[in-house]
C-alpha cells in the first residue's frame, strides 16, 4: 500500500486585515473590499477548482485570463479571455501565448511536473507580482504525526527528472514538492504554496465524498469505516477558491495547509451531516480500521477518503490549518457542503449517476459486513 496513491486518489471572505502572520508568511493590509482590481492569469481554469476560482474572482471584480489546451469544457466562461497552448514548452506552441503578457498574479492549478512549472514560472517571473501554486498535502514525506504543520518534512524523488506518476502514483508527492521548489526558485519571495487535502463539493467529479450521502440515503445497513471519532479533513472547493482570491488581493505569500473544517471533524459528524441532509435514519455498522486493513480495505480504492486513524496514517486527516486560518481561510458548514454536493450529483444525467466513480460496490459492502458479523460471533463464542 502506498500513501502517495491514497493521497492522489484524493468554495465568506475575511472581513478584517490580518492581525498576525505565521513564520514564513506575509500579507498586505486591507479589509474585505479589494483595494484594486487585479489582472489574474489561471493556468488551467476549466476543471474543478479552476472554475470555482474564476467565479469567485469575477464576483470580486477582477479580470481573468485562462491558459490551457482548450480540451476540457472549453465552453465555460465565454466572457473570459482564453489563451491556448501547452504546459510543456516542447509541445506545439507551448507557452508562446504567454510571452510578454503582464499579470498581477498567476494561479497555477495544473502543475504536476517540475520541468513544466519551472518553464511557466521563469517565463512569467519578470511580468507578474505573485505566483500561487496549488500543491497537495501529498508533498509531505509522512502522515504519522497529528497536527503537523507546514514545517514537516517533505517528500523527495529518487530521480529528480522523472515525469511519470509511477504505477501506484508513488512519485506524486515528490513531484508536487519539486514543483513547489521550481515556483519558489523562479519567484523568490513572491510564491504562494497552497497544499490542500481532499477538495470536495459541487462539481467534484471523483464522487469520493458524495459516495457517503448517496449511500446513506439508500438506507438499510451501511458499512461505516473505522469509528465515529476517526478524524476527517475536507475542504469545499468554493471555500478554497474564495480564499485564493483573498490571497491575491492581499498579496499573501508563504506555504499553507488548506485543510478543513477549522476545527477537527470526524466520521461520526460526517454521517450526522448525511442524516440531516437526507432525512434518513440509516443503520450504521461501524467496522474497525484494523479489520478493514486486514481484509484489504484501506481507503485507497473503493472505500474513499477515510483512512485508518493510527500508525502511518495517524496524522493524515489531522494536518494543522492554523497558518491558513490566520491568513483568512473560512469554512462553510460541512452540512452545506454535503447538501450541495448531493444536489449537484443528482442534477447529472441518469446515465452518469449510474456510473459512480467511487464507493464500495453493494456486493463488496455486503461481503465485508458479513465477515465482520462472523468475526464478532467468533469473538463472542470465545468469551472475548
Alpha helix stretches (DSSP H) within 125-229: 172-186, 211-218
Note whether residue 354 is domain-resident.
Answer: yes
pTM: 0.91
Q: Which residue has the higher pLDDT, 222 or 10?
A: 222
**Cβ partners under 8 Å of residue 10, min gap 6:** 136, 138, 197, 198, 208, 305
Residue range 127-142, pLDDT digits in tens? 999 999 999 999 999 9
CA pair distance 203, 49, nearest whole angstrom:
9
Note whether residue 282 is domain-resident.
Answer: yes
Burial per residue of 142-155, b for 16 or more beta-carbon CB atoms within 10 angstroms, e otherwise: bbebeebbbebebb
Note whether residue 127 is domain-resident.
Answer: yes
Per the structure, the count of domains in the chain is 1
Report phi then psi at 371, rounded to 5.
Answer: -60, -40
For position 34, what pLDDT does the model report? 72
Note whether residue 383 is domain-resident.
Answer: no
Q: What is the mean pLDDT of residues 33-47?
A: 91
Domain that holds residue 116: 3-378
Residue 22 pLDDT grade (very low, low, confident, very high; cuts 50, 70, 90): very low
Closest alpha carbon to 305 in 202, 232, 204: 232
- Cell numbers given for 280: 434518513
CATH number of the domain at 54, please: 3.40.50.720
Note whether residue 384 is domain-resident.
Answer: no
Is 254 strand, coil or helix? strand
Residue range 259-313, pLDDT digits in tens? 999 999 999 999 999 999 999 999 999 999 999 999 988 766 689 999 999 999 9
Note whether residue 45 is domain-resident.
Answer: yes
Count the helix, strand and coil residues of the chain and give each as a percent rounded to the nearest 5.
35, 15, 50
Amino acid at each position: 500500500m502506498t500513501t502517495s496513491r491514497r493521497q492522489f486518489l484524493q468554495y465568506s471572505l475575511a472581513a478584517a486585515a490580518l492581525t498576525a502572520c505565521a513564520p514564513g508568511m506575509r500579507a498586505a493590509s486591507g479589509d474585505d473590499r479589494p483595494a484594486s482590481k487585479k489582472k489574474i492569469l489561471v493556468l488551467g481554469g476549466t476543471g474543478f477548482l479552476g472554475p470555482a476560482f474564476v467565479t469567485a474572482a469575477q464576483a470580486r471584480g477582477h479580470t481573468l485570463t485562462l491558459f490551457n489546451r482548450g480540451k476540457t469544457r472549453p465552453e465555460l466562461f465565454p466572457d473570459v479571455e482564453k489563451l491556448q497552448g501547452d504546459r510543456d514548452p516542447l509541445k506545439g506552441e507551448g507557452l508562446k501565448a504567454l510571452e510578454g503578457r503582464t499579470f498581477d498574479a498567476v494561479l497555477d492549478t495544473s502543475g504536476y511536473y517540475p520541468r513544466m512549472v519551472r518553464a511557466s514560472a521563469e517565463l512569467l517571473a519578470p511580468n507578474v507580482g505573485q505566483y500561487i501554486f496549488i500543491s497537495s498535502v501529498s508533498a509531505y514525506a509522512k502522515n504519522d504525526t497529528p497536527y503537523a504543520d507546514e514545517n514537516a518534512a517533505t517528500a523527495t524523488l529518487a530521480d529528480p527528472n522523472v515525469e511519470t506518476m509511477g504505477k501506484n502514483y508513488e512519485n506524486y508527492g515528490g513531484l508536487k514538492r519539486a514543483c513547489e521548489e521550481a515556483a519558489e526558485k523562479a519567484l523568490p519571495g513572491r510564491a504562494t504554496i497552497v497544499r490542500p487535502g481532499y477538495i470536495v463539493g459541487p462539481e467534484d467529479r471523483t464522487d469520493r465524498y458524495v459516495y457517503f450521502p448517496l449511500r446513506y440515503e439508500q438506507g438499510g445497513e451501511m458499512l461505516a469505516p473505522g469509528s465515529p471519532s476517526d478524524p476527517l479533513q475536507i475542504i469545499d472547493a468554493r471555500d478554497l477558491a474564495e480564499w485564493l482570491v483573498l490571497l491575491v488581493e492581499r498579496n499573501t505569500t508563504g506555504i499553507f495547509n488548506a485543510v478543513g473544517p477549522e476545527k477537527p471533524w470526524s466520521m461520526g459528524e460526517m454521517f450526522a451531516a448525511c442524516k440531516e441532509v437526507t432525512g434518513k435514519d440509516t443503520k450504521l455498522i461501524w467496522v474497525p480500521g484494523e479489520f478493514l486493513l486486514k481484509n484489504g480495505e484501506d481507503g485507497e480504492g473503493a472505500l474513499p477518503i477515510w483512512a485508518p486513524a493510527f500508525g502511518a496514517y495517524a496524522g493524515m486527516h489531522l494536518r494543522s490549518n492554523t497558518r491558513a486560518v490566520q491568513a483568512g481561510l473560512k469554512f462553510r458548514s460541512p452540512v452545506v457542503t454535503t447538501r450541495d454536493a448531493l444536489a449537484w450529483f443528482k442534477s447529472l444525467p441518469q446515465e452518469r449517476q449510474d456510473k459512480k466513480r467511487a464507493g464500495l460496490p453493494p456486493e463488496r459492502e455486503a461481503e465485508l459486513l458479513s465477515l465482520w458479523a462472523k468475526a464478532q460471533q467468533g469473538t463472542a463464542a470465545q468469551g472475548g
